[in-house]
Chains A and B, each alone.
Chain A
Amino acid sequence: MIEYVYIMTYRQIKRFIRAKSRIAGTLINNILWLLFFGLGWAYTLRGQQFQVLFKGLDYLAFLLPATFATSIFQTSFMGGISVIWDKQFGFLKEVLVAPAPRSLTILGRALGDSIVSIVNGMIMLAFGFGLTSKLNPVGLPLAIAMGLVMALGFTSMGIAIASAMTSPEGFQLIVGTITMPMTLLSGSMFPINMAPQWMQILALISPLTYAVDLCRYYLTGVSLLDSMYPWLNHGTELLLLLITSLALIIVAMRMFERTTIE
């Protein structure tokens, strides 16, 4: 059983390693974001008075852990597009006609893409540790484990959508329209607890908000969601995230089993 998961994970990672230009592109994007957005705002908000907004953190320490989560989210979700490439370029038929259970091959695929996006997030985080000394490395293992949970959830979400689509353009459109508001609402760039009530409610619908808050909690000890609702502590957040990821994985398996070549 596990070998079918393993082999697709192997494939996804192999493919990623071969795509040198894609790796370079992602890296450059990440660095530019950290420099121009991160440092730009960190410099603007450098006074003591602003740290109140971030519960005592400076802006970089506030932003960087969240960026780990959002970058994992974006790459994971986008990973679903490879299902569409495989549809267009025939490899999907090779998988569908094999006796290996589809639910396991798709799980392997999700795992492979998740590992890729976590590596990506960790590179980002490594820069983060270089830019500020306020992050706590002790929280790293927990943050990475949580990253894996959310990555599995979001790659599954991408795969589920891709299974029902035929064109990469259509997929990109959907991903684009979902990624943007989720990232903005996640509280990664500004303290969501200061936002208007209706925005907070929208934010709480999205699992990414919990992932961002958890990451920040693990790496800096600060959580913003529990100042909105005291019951929304890191334990509850983790539970909610686990449940959503699990649900998304199951949906992806179902959708992929039903995908056809028609």
Chain B
Amino acid sequence: MEYDITVENLVKRYGSIEAVRGISFTVSRGEIFGFLGPNGAGKTTTIHILTTLLKPTAGKATVAGYDVVKEPDKVRRCIGVVFQDPSLDLNLTGYENLFIHGRLYGLNGQRLREKIEEALKFVELWEFRDKEVKSYSGGMRRRLEIARAMLHTPKILFLDEPTIGLDPQTRAHIWDYIRELRRSYGTTIFLTTHYMDEAEILCDRIAIIDHGKIIAMGTAEELKSMLSSDIVYVKLEHLNGEVCSKISLEGIKNCRVVEGNTIALQVRKASEAIPAILQLLDRLEIRVLEVSYRRPSLNDVFIHLTGREIRDSEASPAETMRMRHRARVR
């Protein structure tokens, strides 16, 4: 097995803040590997170290077989990066942005022109190539950044929250591009996200990171089987605040109120637990409107491991605002 990324006991301190606290993992050639974690978990810091922009405080990391501290030039030749924050030149056109990028990576002439065309067509921006990036929407900018990062056909692509603040359709689109990149070029992909669905849909393997530490790692299935349980949702006519404390059945590991009048119960096996739950609620004279259940999500895994939620999986309005604001400030 060949590893494109290896990380051993990586530590990064900013003054007294320890942003990354001794993480270790490996990513194989051609794998899509994801860092899933909440705000401030240390995802961006890790990407910055792996892409040679920050020096680690301790530990060792190699990318494409080269040490990120000792051989940054060689690492830079092998990687493409989409940063969390926008990094396009807004006063230039989409084409010019890619042109400058290509030249910075030593491409030129006919070959560069072909590459630009290929990349822009790949993200469906070819017809907008001569428009200034200022006039692009948030989703178009993100796609342009992906086109730029793949322009020089890097071996390894780093994507820091590739779909943050985008609408669901654009997000699905970007997921397609990412999968297609791996299929067509065999690109190894390291991405970070705080969206459960993104990690689950895209990644071969996921590392859950919180407070600078990896708290679990594996395929989405492996992570979910850590819980060995199902989640039952019961929608009630009236939500009584103490309902959870009243439901004390054997086999119910966790009860919490989710949106509306719905409670979520973590049970070992939904098909066996549901009759018992309904009987209990009936005895308590609580009227039930709906019952459904599902396999646990990564969110449940995160809650199980940390006792907190990561965040809603859809882009929240506040976050979209943040992106817009950022775009305007420029």
Contacts and interface: CB of A to CB of B under 8 A. Distances in A.
Contact of B76 (A4, A6, A19, A99): A99
A14 B96 contact: yes
Interface in B77-136: 77, 79, 81, 83, 85-92, 96, 100-101, 103-106, 108, 132
Contacts of B132: 18
A18 B91 contact: yes
B14 A262 contact: yes
A97 interface: yes
Contact of A15 (B54, B92, B103): B92
A89 B86 contact: yes
A94 B101 contact: yes
Contacts of A3: 103, 106, 108
If over half of A's interface residues share one DSSP class (helix, strand or loop), that class is named, otherwise mixed; here it is helix
B51 interface: yes
Contacts of B104: 4, 7, 94-95, 98-100, 105
If over half of B's interface residues share one DSSP class (helix, strand or loop), that class is named, otherwise mixed; here it is loop
A93 B91 contact: no
Contacts of A94: 83, 87, 101, 104, 148
Interface residues of B, number: 31
Contact of A11 (B51, B54, B77, B89): B89
Contacts of A260: 53-54
A98 B87 CA distance: 13
A103 to B, nearest CB: 12
A92 B86 CA distance: 11
A15 B106 contact: no
Interface in A1-36: 3-4, 6-7, 10-11, 14-15, 18-19
Nearest to A95: B104
Contact of B92 (A4, A6, A11, A97): A11
Most buried by A among B87, B100, B104: B104
A3 B104 CA distance: 8
Contact of A19 (B14, B51, B91): B91
Given A11-B89, A11-B100, A15-B92, A261 B53 contact: yes
Contacts of A7: 100, 103-104
Interface residues of A, number: 26
A91 interface: yes
Nearest to A105: B104
Given A93-B83, A97-B51, A14 B92 contact: yes
A64 to B, nearest CB: 32
A91 B106 contact: no
Contacts of B14: 262
Contacts of A240: none
B157 to A, nearest CB: 12
A99 B53 contact: no
A199 B150 CA distance: 58
Nearest to B51: A97
Contacts of A4: 103-104
Contacts of B221: none
A96 interface: yes
Given A93-B83, A99-B106, 14 more contacts: A4-B104, A6-B103, A11-B92, A11-B100, A14-B96, A15-B91, A18-B91, A19-B91, A91-B87, A93-B81, A97-B52, A99-B105, A260-B54, A261-B54
Q: Closest 4 A-B residue pairs measured CB to CB?
A: A90-B87, A7-B103, A98-B104, A99-B76
